[in-house]
């Protein structure tokens, strides 16, 4: 992990993108490390594009700006790949994690991506585990598989705290995505 890991999440309002970044940051903090999480959106409504930022470090984080040069992109809404260039600013050593039914290799070819790609059909997993088409917790598992930033138990604790009785399905979605992630360089 770099000195500070910077992750930019791309989704739409109502997809849980901001919540996932927040829960991931809380898990990092619970493990005694430092993290920041914050959204970037204006007066948009449900369904409008939203960006969330996540910083992880072993040291206190003094920077307070949006992440312009992320190490990792998490694309919760795959339709955004056809609408905006989510890769703007991604470091040459960056990685892209996409919620999509296509394989990592197929995504890399379709979009001409030069970075390593990881893919998971988070929507399919969400429908099977939480019975809703909301892939945000699956994407938390995918991000943790790529980064190894926290223990899965720390993420599970955050999901239990946030979702209470509904946590089990979200934990299953996160765990499945972690285990089933298709990674390609």
Which CATH number goes with the domain that contains 24? 3.40.920.10
> Average pLDDT, stretch 125-129?
97
Distance CA 52, CA 37 (A): 7
Domain that holds residue 55: 4-184
- pLDDT value of position 14: 86
Mean pLDDT, the chain, rounded, equals 94
Long-range contacts of 180-183 (CB under 8 A, 24+ apart): 180/120, 180/125, 181/97, 181/118, 181/119, 181/120, 181/141, 181/142, 181/145, 181/146, 182/103, 182/104, 182/118, 182/119, 182/120, 183/104, 183/116, 183/117, 183/118, 183/145, 183/146
CB atoms within 10 A of CB 101: 13
Residue 88 pLDDT greater than 90, yes or no: yes
- pLDDT value of position 47: 75
CA angle 102, 182, 97 (to 5 degrees): 80
- pLDDT value of position 13: 87
- pLDDT value of position 78: 96
Contacts of 17 (CB under 8 A, 6+ apart): 9, 10, 11, 39, 50, 51, 52, 76, 77, 136
For residue 26, what pLDDT band results from cuts at 50, 70 and 90? Answer: very high
- pLDDT value of position 111: 97
Residues 120 and 183: beta-carbon distance below 8 Å: no
Tokens representing residue 16 in the block? 């849980």
- pLDDT value of position 2: 55
Distance CA 39, CA 130 (A): 24
- The number of distinct structural domains making up the chain is 1
Residues 176 and 138: beta-carbon distance below 8 Å: yes
pTM score: 0.94
> Average pLDDT, stretch 92-115?
97
For residue 85, what pLDDT band results from cuts at 50, 70 and 90? Answer: very high
Residues 28-83 have pLDDT tens digits of: 999 999 999 998 865 556 678 899 999 999 999 999 899 999 999 999 999 999 99
């Amino acid at each position: 992990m770099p000195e500070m890991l910077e992750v930019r999440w791309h989704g739409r309002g109502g997809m849980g993108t901001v919540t996932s970044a927040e829960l991931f940051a809380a898990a990092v903090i619970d493990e005694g490390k430092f993290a920041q999480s914050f959204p970037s959106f204006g007066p948009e409504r449900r369904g409008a594009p939203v960006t969330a930022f996540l910083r992880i470090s072993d040291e206190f984080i003094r920077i307070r700006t949006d992440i312009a040069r992320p190490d990792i992109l998490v694309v919760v809404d795959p339709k955004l790949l056809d609408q905006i260039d989510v890769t703007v600013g991604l470091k040459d050593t960056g990685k892209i994690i996409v919620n999509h039914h296509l394989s990592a290799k197929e995504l890399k070819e379709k979009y001409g991506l030069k970075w390593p790609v990881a893919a998971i059909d988070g929507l399919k997993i969400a429908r099977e585990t939480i019975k809703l088409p909301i892939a945000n917790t699956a994407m938390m598992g995918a991000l943790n598989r790529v980064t190894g930033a926290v223990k899965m138990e720390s993420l599970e604790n955050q999901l239990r705290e946030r979702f209470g009785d509904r946590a089990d399905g979200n934990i299953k979605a996160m765990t499945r995505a972690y285990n089933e992630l298709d990674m390609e360089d």
